[in-house]
Structure 1
């Protein structure tokens, strides 16, 4: 037993599948079970909102015998559970794991192949409890589908993309020009070929975290997931496309994005908490539905009161910014992408400033990064960047707009409604960097507080103070 424990401590936890992760969440008392039947038309979303930060398990969905699970990444604690992060600085541990990528391991068979439906029997909206997420969405949307694709030069890509159901075996897909799947599709279209895809719904949490990592086009997110979980992802060959899919996924849809074919897609409530407008976009034709016995359908709520998507995307993106910022300022301590900034648009960076002007080097790197941060604030290491009151205090008392800020104009961004509708520049936006650090060459007023010794005394003996 002791030997097993030591091995467990050396490596991160490797959840084999979604079900193992759900058990871990339930054991941590952060899972709510909804026993009353719910409708796929917005009622699932309303239950997700009502659950707050708790993970949700809807046992009965009207018209379906497949339960729906959601909110599995709804706060920082669940992200730490997903990756078994133990350190005070999760970003450091996250990046350390990525130093050793672990390519996937192909196996002969897996639970996802327990049921395979093809041909005329394929009826995806009848088979799966795909929700209508928000009131004015264009229809039912798969919001939690990890799209697996392959390019002859770049290899595998895994990424989250929305899919609007359009019939028994068809869907519309949105791909930003800034994303690698769009690059893969355009390269296939130039060859007059469809782009084969697999859509993974419900799986080991490391795959979801890997799917939102930023990197070069040839970065294999399967290998990223293996690094994060401490063991290779087991994959199986798909039935109708030349791709590998996770062997222990709950559901996998196989198909292809058709070349030179566009149809109306949208609107859809996006991570920006606004509806993304309708547009003519590529079309997916599905060729197979594979799923486990008694599968679980995992969904991600995107909308004004979203949590899942914000925390899912913020750690990988913050880690990329942290790594880039430390290249110009080694004393950067932490990076936080705030929930109010949709887990993307607003960054707060903690650092120990070594010389004047150094924070602006950090801000330049963060704002230029392809993640798309619009507003970035650098603060001293005494500020808790996860406490918005502390950050606001630093801005209020350590920041002068005329000397401590600068702008970047006409830089690319993804799904920012203010650039599309206020500046009317589409993918181009303006960005603001703010240095809220203390000056090194001025005797600044001291922060007032009780002594650490007295505070510790009271905290350590608080119950005795209450009892008298």
Structure 2
């Protein structure tokens, strides 16, 4: 990265900051394994799951096209993106099994492990300004994001380059407690960005600051470890810092450092941090942008971030998420699944597992495995699920013999255990996802926010009756099909069959 700004400083060598340290440690050793982005990428490389693209690729579409082709098979590491010497990585969390591996558990235990961390967060450990790896290089004057960072333009009709994998961190103006989220951010100026704020915690923070005529200080951390990335998507009540859930996932306090131009704390081992503030009463055009439902959201006036500093590690790595592909979907889906499972089990202990399907963009379609004891219970579970998160549009409840992670199993249960006149639940006019394009049908293009995202909800009770005659609903099964040892029974090659044919010929 070129360091041409007059106020660009190497904090580690010049002691640029005078803040009092929060700990006695003056050097911070690099964590191992999945606890930093670099450690996780090294692990993927050793196990053949990192593809290195060692030639120049265009930041406009080409980089995203390559990453999409590799999605779910290998992470993509671009060494020469757009003529800049800052590499770009994408897709390092694009398989469910990889995420479980980073968490150190089997795939079936993934939701339980995430839920345990969310229930028992660990307070972060504060590192003094200037001692954190993410502040080895500091830019505060004449910032030009396009010259500093390789920010891709992903989809065909995107209105320019977007930061898609940045953890947006802000403090509640009333309580000081932080919130972490991932928001799409369009970079449309040298030091100016437009951000999408949905009606969640960051939105509430911004509205509270704006009501007082104040800007809201923010930081965007890019290039964090997979566990911190996952923790950022936890669904928690307001005033619960997701960085503390990251610490619980890692099994130790997450090192954090205060920004150089505001009071926000960021992961100390982040590759890049953009510091800034959301300006009050300022809106600028943002979009169109290809979102997770695999459609474009429209151009609208959005809140604006004014950049005050960029800090980064030496030789930083930029992370981008290709919208609507597996890394994007799983990052949002798995934390939601863990939260939904906990929510449902509090009222319905018979709920055994849940899955947000990929076909439902890991947001809209929820499949629930349920041990039904009374008729009508499944409909109560459906209603409970709709109340758990407004994004949920369709719920299917199945019995415990049905694998909720297998779409064919779900379709089979609907085909053989569901009747629409008896087992269908429809709710009209409920709040749904504003990013679901079907909710905009019949609405004017400039519909006010309170009319956006109005959706119908559909629940399907695909459970068999508690009591049924004979074997009407008994699933066909062959004894021994799951335990038969094929390796001892099946010939390794075709010589046995050839010998059989020879005997028949004789």
Does residue 21 of the first structure (1) align with residue 40 of the second (2)? yes
Q: Tell me what 1:433 maps to.
A: 459
Q: TM-score of the superposition, structure 1-length normalised?
A: 0.93
Q: Which of the numbers 174, 189, 201 marks the counterpart of 2:196? A: 174
Rate the CA distance shift 1:265–1:436 in 2: closer, same or farther, 3 A: same
Q: Deviations over 1:183-225 (max 9, x none)?
A: 1000000011000000010011122111111121111111111
Rate the CA distance shift 1:199–1:360 in 2: closer, same or farther, 3 A: same
Q: CA deviation at 1:176?
A: 1.0
Q: CA deviation at 1:52?
A: 2.8
Partners of 2:278 and 2:210 lie apart in 1 by 9
Partners of 1:16 and 1:308 lie apart in 2 by 18
Q: Tell me what 1:332 maps to.
A: 351
- Report the count of equivalent residues: 452
Q: Which of the numbers 72, 90, 94 marks the counterpart of 2:114? A: 94
Partners of 1:111 and 1:462 lie apart in 2 by 57
Q: Deviations over 1:39-70 (max 9, x none)?
A: 10011110011113121111211220011100
Contact 2:52 2:78 in 1 (8 A): yes
Q: CA deviation at 1:421?
A: 2.8
Contact 1:197 1:243 in 2 (8 A): yes
Q: Tell me what 1:31 maps to.
A: 50
Q: Tell me what 2:273 maps to.
A: 252
Partners of 1:466 and 1:448 lie apart in 2 by 31
Q: CA deviation at 1:79?
A: 1.2
Q: Tell me what 1:232 maps to.
A: 253
Does residue 164 of the first structure (1) align with residue 186 of the second (2)? yes
Matches within 5 A, 1:304-315: 306-315=325-334
Q: Tell me what 1:417 maps to.
A: 437
Contact 1:75 1:307 in 2 (8 A): yes
Q: CA deviation at 1:413?
A: 2.3
Contact 2:134 2:273 in 1 (8 A): yes
Q: Which structure has the greater CA radius of gyration?
A: 2
Contact 1:14 1:229 in 2 (8 A): no
Contact 1:79 1:312 in 2 (8 A): no
Secondary structure of the corresponding residue to residue 56 of structure 2:
coil
Rate the CA distance shift 1:199–1:368 in 2: closer, same or farther, 3 A: same
Q: Deviations over 1:347-370 (max 9, x none)?
A: 111111111111112111111122
Q: Tell me what 1:186 maps to.
A: 207
Secondary structure of the corresponding residue to residue 236 of structure 1:
strand
Q: Tell me what 2:375 maps to.
A: 356
Partners of 1:263 and 1:113 lie apart in 2 by 30
Does residue 107 of the first structure (1) align with residue 127 of the second (2)? yes
Partners of 2:202 and 2:169 lie apart in 1 by 9
Contact 2:35 2:227 in 1 (8 A): no
Does residue 394 of the first structure (1) align with residue 413 of the second (2)? yes
Does residue 449 of the first structure (1) align with residue 477 of the second (2)? yes
Of 161-170 and 406-415, more deviation after overlay is shown by 406-415
Of 354-363 and 291-300, more deviation after overlay is shown by 354-363
Q: CA deviation at 1:328?
A: 2.0
Of 221-230 and 404-413, more deviation after overlay is shown by 404-413
Rate the CA distance shift 1:455–1:83 in 2: closer, same or farther, 3 A: closer
Contact 1:317 1:371 in 2 (8 A): no
Q: CA deviation at 1:87?
A: 6.1
Rate the CA distance shift 1:175–1:454 in 2: closer, same or farther, 3 A: closer
Secondary structure of the corresponding residue to residue 108 of structure 2:
coil
Is there any run of 5+ residues in structure 1 with no aligned partner, and where?
1-12
Q: CA deviation at 1:371?
A: 5.0
Q: TM-score of the superposition, structure 2-length normalised?
A: 0.86
Q: Which of the numbers 76, 80, 87 marks the counterpart of 1:67? A: 87
Matches within 5 A, 1:124-139: 124-139=145-160
Matches within 5 A, 1:277-356: 277-303=298-324, 306-356=325-375
